[in-house]
Chain A
Amino acid sequence: MKRHFREFSVAAALVLGLLVLAVFAPAFYQPQPLLSLLTREAPTLIVACGMALVIISRQIDISVGSQFAVCSVCTGLLAASNVPLVLLLPASIGLGAAMGAINGLLIAGLHLPSIVVTLATMVTWREALRWKQQGVFVNLPDGLQWFGLSQLGGQWALISVAVVVLVVLAIAMKHLALGRFVYAVGSDAEAARLAGIRPQLTTFGVFVFMGALTGLAAMMNVVQSPQVDPKSGTGLELKVIAAVVVGGVAISGGRGNLWGVFVGLLLLACISPALTHLHVEAYWEKAIQGAIILLAVVADGVRSKRERN
């Protein structure tokens, strides 16, 4: 309990919020809008899981929004030229992994700071996309939306994929040696190296995995609408980093888990619809999100300061 105090306190805040909504705005619990909310957040959760791994390994990746857009548009273009659905998913994941590998090579191979490398790739991918598409939406063929399922079936499918990824990753991080390597490298890369772990390989792997998850998330986003917006994914990196930080992953690496990230994401995602139902002006959303992030960061700061003393 003490070790997971942070995760529990975020969960408590979420439950409290949901209770307030149940009393003052029961309309929030109408099934269809709630399902839509969860479906919209499913791709975000996937990216947030990847970001959690990146931050646990003491790195950061701010290029995920651009990767997401590149994967979305390329998948859309492939679909528009009648590439079958079964090939679209591996293509999207592969493309994401390739972009992640570029980040990983520069960061792990050349020891460049991840914030600078991913800033560069973020701008590069985004501008390349603008040059290619000139802002034009990609029209998708019929039958791609909701994987050709009914809307309800598609929504449940997407939510299930996100939950499966979350659960599998959470278990892997705890029960696989690989997961522990990520924590070890994030805590103290030199100590990990002296214990026979390969920090560079681990870091590279994490970035490739981040890219692959972004590709998966992009695909999950594409099937939700009849068109692909070349500006999709703008601001995604900030959203997932916020969820990861609120969920209790230490920005200094080595600490945190995916359950916390899940709760953090839900908390942040519920704010906007909750405000609507409580008839609060929508522009409070960003302010409240900001306050929550600030609170989370301050809590971490206080904790690490206390530990130092």
Chain B
Amino acid sequence: MTAPLLQLNSVTKSFGAVRALNGVSFDLRAGEVHALLGENGAGKSTLIKIITGAHQPDGGSIEIQGRRVAHLTPAMAHKLGIACIYQQPALFPDLTVAENIGLRLEPVSPLRKVKWSQRREHAAQLLQRIGAEISPDAEVRSLSMPEQQLVEIACAIGAGARIVIMDEPTASLTQTEVELLFNVVRELRAGGVGVIYISHRLEEIFELADRVTVLRDGESVGTRSVSGRRGNEAQISPGKGQSLLTSAPTITESELIKLMVGREVSSIFPPAESETGEVVLSLKNLGCSISGVKNVTLDVRAGEVVGLAGLVGAGRTELARALFGITPSDSGEVIFNGEIVAIRSPQEAIALGIAYVPEDRRRHGVILEMPIAHNMTMAIHSRVFPGGWLRFGTERSLALDFIRDLDVRTFGPDAPAGSLSGGNQQKVALARWLAAKPKLLILDEPTQGVDVGAKSEIHKIIRCLAKDGLAVLMISSDLPEVLGMSDRIAVMRGGTIAAMLPGKSDARDVMAAALGQASEDRGNRKSAKSLRVE
């Protein structure tokens, strides 16, 4: 009996107060493709970083090929045959394929003489082994994304990798490129390599994976076999592991979605009690070719919270940035307060009455070095300070009002925004825009990285604002938040709105729409083969 290639036993990892992984166990066998699935923020990235040695777990143990590894570093992971292929390959674009492979695989010593013919031949061999038709002399710059991924895989093979991690490898590939990649993955599996495969595309998982593990809120909620996908080519010696494997229950797509979503929407969210009024924002086939937003049609009314759900990369932030004039839209119409408008810069958006609290609050939502009071008046200079002459008294009283109303925990309006906790920084960012008295408030991940207490306070504030007649468009990857806060939910996928759902929808419907599965078909599927949806 061979031990699993990789075994994680109740691994735990926290970042500050946030528990990213909580007792996750995971195993990978030789010659299998093990898919890893979960919502945004479920802990997939953290798990990968622990396997590649980038993060050290706080608790639990890691065994590689049956041997316990106490302190895994990236260099050790490399030596032990762990390779990770990222969505964006990390190759040197100006060097040739052979040079890139050589740099990875040949010993590092500055004065070593390079044997060019040998290097080239080795590269050609590796590329041939994975069936890639790429010239070793080609500059990496000239290769397509999947070709670059193949070069990465060749490097992994050349380094003798036994464990290959693929992090959403197909996110930017076309269908034919995906097929090419899949063939290589199957080759790897046939060669006894264990592949950890991360993807949001369920059809790929059913096509490729042998087993799937679902993570939710930093915990593993189950490992299942994927039905009927056990390939004959896999070279697993039957043994204890094998019997365990076959005994794992197989899974259907709808069960998988249920596992990912799992929890009930808690009742801690403030009730929606606002009257919805006039349409404030109306989008008609809005598109932005640079950022990939296309054909977005959406209405947001006064007094309404519209949740914008979807996976990372579905185009939600891009839509917000188009609306706020950061990357202006180039097709379709924006109707604001009944008038067709063109928003070409943040100034124009602000002048219309649009406010945007960006996603990356730590970097761009507030200016960390500046006092709270300065941050709060940042967007309203022309209104509260006529003639451009600052009135510190006015500013201070305005800041004190917001500090009181939003319950910002601080020493006072002169404290720099950087001295506050994440939740309180978010309140300052909110205050800045409330001071501008907008008609439409766009919130991008308003409670990301915010502790539980501040989170529910922010929810109350948002609800309060809607009650006062503000139209709110709230982007959130936190499914319970979207379900609990929204009057209506727009689910985005591939740059456009895939579904409009009512406020108290089933989490599974939201997830299904985000993953690209028509919700009415859910549960009717029997065979895995027929699950592929285009």
Contact = CB atoms under 8 A, between A and B. Distances in A.
Given A177-B385, A194-B326, A195-B432, A187 B367 contact: yes
Contacts of A175: 389-390
A187 B324 CA distance: 22
Contacts of A198: 345, 347
Interface stretch (A115-123, A137-145, A178-186, A261-269): A178-186
A184 B356 contact: no
B374 interface: yes
Contact of A180 (B324, B364, B369, B374): B374
A255 B324 CA distance: 29
Interface string A179-205: 010011001101111111110000000
A254 interface: yes
Contacts of B363: 188, 190-191
Nearest to B351: A196
B369 A177 contact: no
B370 interface: yes
Nearest to A176: B388
Interface string B328-354: 000000000000000001110010000
Nearest to B436: A196
B390 A176 contact: yes
A188 B368 contact: yes
Contacts of B4: none
A183 B370 contact: yes
Contact of B378 (A174, A184, A190, A254): A184
Contacts of B460: none
Interface residues of A, number: 21
A110 B467 CA distance: 45
A44 B215 CA distance: 64
Contacts of A196: 346-347, 350, 378-379
Given A175-B389, A177-B390, A180-B390, A195 B378 contact: yes
A13 B46 CA distance: 50
Interface residues of B, number: 26
Given A177-B381, A180-B374, A184-B378, A194 B356 contact: yes
B369 A193 contact: no
B347 A191 contact: no
A257 to B, nearest CB: 13
Nearest to A198: B347
Contacts of A184: 367, 370, 374, 378
Nearest to A196: B350
B366 interface: yes
Interface string A196-219: 111000000000000000000000
A306 to B, nearest CB: 13
B360 to A, nearest CB: 9
Contacts of B494: none
A209 B385 CA distance: 23
12 contacts: A184-B370, A188-B367, A188-B368, A190-B364, A191-B364, A193-B326, A194-B364, A195-B346, A196-B346, A196-B378, A254-B367, A254-B369
Interface of B: 324, 326, 345-347, 350, 356, 358, 363-370, 374, 378-379, 381-382, 385, 388-390, 432
A-B residue pairs, 4 tightest by C-beta: A195-B378, A191-B364, A177-B388, A177-B381
Interface of A: 174-178, 180, 183-184, 187-188, 190-198, 254-255
